[in-house]
Amino acid sequence: MINVKDQKYYCIEGLPRIEQCRSIFKAAAMLDAILMPEWEYRYYSFNSKWDTNEQMGSMRDGGGDHYFALFNKNGLIIKGFDKEYEINNENNIEKIFNGVPDTFRDFLNEPAFVFEETTFIIWTQYEKEQWLGSKDYSEEYCGLLQILLGGAEYYHSWASQYYEIDLELALVRRMFELEPIDNSVLKQLNKDLEIADIVDDLEEIGYPYVK
């Protein structure tokens, strides 16, 4: 498992394609919704109905680190804030914004994304699926995106510690395959829940399920 927090690793070169990123963000958000029903304590979230032809994934760790990932008809753009990086490095937000394509300009004008707190922006477009960033450290310092690099295995390791639970890796892998969830699978993840309890989350995330 690559820990990009602990070493210089050009993780941007190893990031998945757009649709795989979408699946990963959805799966992580759905698992969080099951393991932590109280929204304010969740780490990952995903809104499949953010706006017309737009979806939004996000992460917040409770300590200030966060990212927002916007999917639109042109591709995917991710804005992140790493508190440790800001403390230890000169941070010029205007330079970070340089180079962002016009197809994502609306993203930069969205107040909900807290752009005054930004340490990197990276993006990729459908017409040429190549990850790009506005500054060098966009490539070498994106430790917040380990979920995209490690997928189900990373989430399993992280959630087992974060939620202090015994979590079956095989179940996590099934969720990351976006296998439709039913009450049988749900009970294995959280015995206190029924599908009816999480319908709102399922619909918001856009995760397939069996009623």
Provide the pLDDT for residue 139.
46
Strand residues in the chain grouped as ranges (E): 44-51, 54-60, 66-72, 75-81, 120-125, 128-133
What is residue 181's DSSP assignment? B
Report the candidate in 140, 139, 141, 167 with the shortest Cα–Cα distance to residue 155.
167
Residue with tokens 């004008």: 109
Question: 32: which 2 tokens?
Answer: 């969080």
Q: What is the pLDDT of residues 21-65, one digit of tens each?
A: 999 999 999 999 999 999 889 999 999 999 999 999 999 988 889
Q: What is the pLDDT of residues 84-128, one digit of tens each?
A: 777 666 777 778 888 899 999 888 888 888 888 888 899 999 998
Q: What is the pLDDT of residues 130-165, one digit of tens each?
A: 998 876 544 445 678 999 999 999 999 999 999 999
3-state secondary structure of 79: strand
3-state secondary structure of 193: coil
Question: 99: which 2 tokens?
Answer: 């180079």
DSSP β-bridge partners for residue 47: 56
